[in-house]
Amino acid sequence: QKEVEQNSGPLSVPEGAIASLNCTYSDRGSQSFFWYRQYSGKSPELIMSIYSNGDKEDGRFTAQLNKASQYVSLLIRDSQPSDSATYLCAVSSGSARQLTFGSGTQLTVLP
């Protein structure tokens, strides 16, 4: 059973701070890693993807991947109240490259 683990939170950070979201996965053969954001009552939307070890930056978002430790993280710099949402980690593995999702971390950015 492939597992993707996230702290459910809630995680609260003040406006302007760095929010750090973490995810671990069990399948060492996993190839691709994704972060989805889901606002309350809405559908998930992709915000970051990362495929190789290291950091990938996109605006205020940085995804970090460490395959040896089977660990992927998402950093949100200068957090805004509009970043308040649930963040879902997703991992692609297997011949069909199906996504396995974590249960999500609820982030609240306090004004």
Partner 1 sequence: DADVTQTPRNRITKTGKRIMLECSQTKGHDRMYWYRQDPGLGLRLIYYSFDVKDINKGEISDGYSVSRQAQAKFSLSLESAIPNQTALYFCATSARGSGTGELFFGEGSRLTVL
Residues that bind partner 1 (CB under 8 A): 4, 8, 31-32, 34, 36, 42-46, 49, 88, 90, 92, 96-104
Q: Is 2 or 60 the residue whose CB approaches partner 1 more closely? A: 2
Q: Is 81 or 103 the residue whose CB approaches partner 1 more closely? A: 103
In 51-96, DSSP assigns E strands to 54-58, 61-66, 71-76, 85-93
Least gap, CB of 87 to partner 1 (angstroms): 11
Least gap, CB of 72 to partner 1 (angstroms): 13
Least gap, CB of 44 to partner 1 (angstroms): 5
Type of residue found at 69: S
Instruction: Burial-class residue 101 by CB neighbours within 10 Å (0-12, 13-18, 19+).
Output: middle
Beta carbons of 10 and 106 less than 8 angstroms apart: yes
